[in-house]
Amino acid sequence: MPRLSREKLVVLTLIALACGGQWVGSGPLVQAVHAAQATPWADRGWVDEGNMTYDNPTHGFHLTIPPNWSIDPENAYNTDKILWAMRRSDAAGNPRLALLIQICPCQPKTAAEFFNDELAGYKKQYQVVSSGPTVTPGVYEILMVLPNAFHARELFFLHKTKPYIVGFQWASDATAAELADLDGVRGVMGLPPARTK
């Protein structure tokens, strides 16, 4: 079976998320991880620190799972480029918020080169609302509207020369409380605040 390009994988992931479909082989999503179970995404470097807090020393990430969020199972994704995926759904199971962390197989020399290469591709596929550097040097962001009206902010940066994309997605009718929840996840991860223009 041919491997999907990163761009096609992102498109499929975002469409599946926004359409509320089940991931292939996903079954019920995991809300809480019991001590007897394996750490989710452990083969991607994640370590369970307790209290729904996870660290990834290999890739330099830290996050805490807020209440009402679910961790997607690893086998829902047919690639090792996805390092973590989680979402918050409504009572009917429709996705409302999501976080997706990816490592790019590309080898850019700088974060700016990585961002500009990705931005060119995004402009061909999505409605890009704004893009550019964040307040943190070396971290860039794209704000876009997807074809299904979901919104997304994707951050691009290098960590130890490796290129990463951290994507935050939300329903077009997301409430102020939901957006605050998403900003809380972003803050816990130590990422810069969203660009304002």
pLDDT in tens, 72-85: 999 888 888 999 99
- What confidence tens digit (pLDDT) does each residue in 136-192 have? 999 999 999 998 889 999 999 999 999 999 999 999 999 999 999 999 999 999 999
Question: Domains of the chain by range and CATH?
Answer: 6-188 (3.40.1000)
Task: Point out the least confidently predicted range of 1-15, 26-40, 156-170, 179-193.
Answer: 1-15
- Range list of β-strands (E), the chain: 47-50, 53-56, 61-64, 69-71, 82-89, 95-103, 127-133, 140-145, 151-159, 162-170
pTM, entire model: 0.81
